């Protein structure tokens, strides 16, 4: 555990306009042990020296969700080294969460509320990042406690830090990091409306068969599979809570990551379905 690295990460977020931090303690199985919303940078930094020893002892992870009124913070998660290098000129901080796995944060001058989600989605797609990123991140200077890593838990480390770097929408587009807007689909799919009433769920295996490969190119991109499956379930009328519960049963990744991952994926997928329907309207 490295207190200085933790402070450095908090300061990096503060340098681009983050003023609030939701603080969560997660168990090694991904369950929430503690939560403190809307902490200031000073409050977070004051608590870190007291929290770090207990985290190591219990194998808990410290997760923060930064936000600010004057800036849009976009998390680009699940990047390999090549993708991380591509986005690094626009990022104010890049961290390594496990060997070969990187996460970049980009600060964009506050966008109109009706553009934020769409632009963030296009940036994630253009950067080849996880489309279902939650906006929460493990704190640098701590260990990434997950079952799949035991007994050699990787340290969360800062690989690049450029305090105060704020990118513009035009700059990011000029760097080729932003995917083109998705065309509006005018043809409605004839999906049966009574599937939920009949207790029918989408086929996870079918989603898996049609999935793109991960960054390493040796297996399906399971995060995208989970997101696609949740979108289909939402389109069929299943509520978010039921989708999250079901995802834990059909997805090995969801079972490993825990309930928080499942709920965030289901919630983001339902929001994407709603946005798509509103766009058609």
Q: Which residues pair with 108 in a beta bridge?
A: 72, 167
Predicted pLDDT at 5: 94
Secondary structure class of 52 (helix, strand, coil):
helix
Report the sign of the C-alpha dihedral through residues 92, 93, 94, 97, in that order: negative
Predicted pLDDT at 89: 95
DSSP H/E element including 48: helix 41-58
* Alpha helix positions (H), 16-79: 41-58
Neighbours of 78 (CB within 10 A): 22
Residue found under tokens 């870190």 = 48
Measured torsion, CA atoms of residues 78, 244, 121, 186, in degrees rounded to the nearest 10: 140
**pLDDT tens digit at each of 281 positions of the chain:** 788 999 999 999 999 999 999 999 988 888 888 889 999 999 999 999 999 888 888 999 999 999 988 888 999 999 999 999 999 999 999 999 888 899 999 999 877 777 788 888 899 999 999 887 778 899 999 999 988 888 899 999 999 999 999 999 889 999 999 988 766 444 344 445 556 666 789 888 888 876 777 666 667 788 889 999 999 999 888 999 999 999 988 888 888 888 888 999 999 999 998 888 776 54
Q: Is 199 left (phi over 0), alpha (psi -120 to 50) or beta?
A: left
Q: Is the pTM of this model over 0.75?
A: no
* Alpha helix positions (H), 198-258: 204-209, 222-235, 240-250, 252-257
Give the integer Cα–Cα distance in Å for 82 and 75.
17
Tokens of 129: 């990042």
Domains located in the chain, CATH noted: 3-174 (3.30.70.1790), 204-280 (no CATH)
Give the integer Cα–Cα distance in Å for 82 and 215.
9
Predicted pLDDT at 182: 66
Residue found under tokens 């049966």 = 192
Tokens of 110: 């506050």
Q: Give, in degrees to the nearest 5, the angle at Cα 142 between 136 and 148.
A: 80
Give the integer Cα–Cα distance in Å for 84 and 97.
12
Predicted pLDDT at 70: 84
Residue found under tokens 């834990």 = 248
Measured torsion, CA atoms of residues 220, 221, 222, 223, in degrees rounded to the nearest 10: -170
Residue found under tokens 């080294």 = 81
Q: Which residues pair with 20 in a beta bridge?
A: 67
Which residues, other chains included, contact 254 with Cβ-Cβ below 8 Å and sequence gap of 6+? 226, 247, 248, 261, 262, 265
Give the integer Cα–Cα distance in Å for 127 and 143.
26
Predicted pLDDT at 76: 94
Predicted pLDDT at 154: 92
């Amino acid at each position: 555990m490295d207190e200085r690295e933790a402070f450095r990460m908090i300061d990096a977020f503060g340098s681009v306009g983050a003023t609030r931090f939701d603080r969560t303690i997660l168990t090694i199985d991904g369950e929430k042990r503690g939560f403190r919303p809307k902490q200031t940078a000073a409050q977070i930094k004051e608590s870190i020296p007291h929290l770090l020893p207990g985290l190591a002892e219990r194998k808990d992870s410290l997760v923060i969700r930064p936000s600010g009124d004057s800036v849009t913070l976009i998390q680009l998660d699940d990047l390999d080294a090549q993708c991380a290098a591509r986005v690094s000129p626009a990022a104010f901080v890049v961290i390594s969460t496990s060997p070969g796995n990187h996460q970049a944060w980009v600060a964009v001058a506050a966008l109109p509320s009706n553009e934020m989600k769409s632009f963030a989605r296009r940036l994630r797609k253009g950067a080849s990042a996880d489309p279902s990123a939650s906006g929460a991140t493990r704190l640098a200077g701590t260990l990434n406690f997950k079952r799949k890593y035991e007994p050699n838990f990787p340290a969360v480390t800062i690989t690049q830090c450029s305090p105060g770097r704020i990118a513009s929408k035009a700059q990011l587009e000029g760097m080729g990091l932003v995917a083109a807007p998705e065309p509006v689909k005018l043809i409605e799919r004839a999906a049966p409306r009574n599937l939920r009433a009949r207790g029918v769920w989408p086929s996870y295996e079918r989603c898996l068969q049609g999935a793109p490969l991960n960054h390493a190119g040796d297996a399906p991109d399971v995060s995208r599979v989970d997101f696609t499956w949740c979108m289909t379930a939402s389109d069929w009328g299943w509520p978010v809570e039921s989708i999250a519960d079901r995802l834990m049963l059909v997805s090995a990744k969801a079972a490993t990551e825990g309930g928080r991952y499942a709920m965030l994926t289901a919630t983001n997928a339902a929001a994407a379905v709603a946005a798509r329907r509103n766009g058609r309207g």
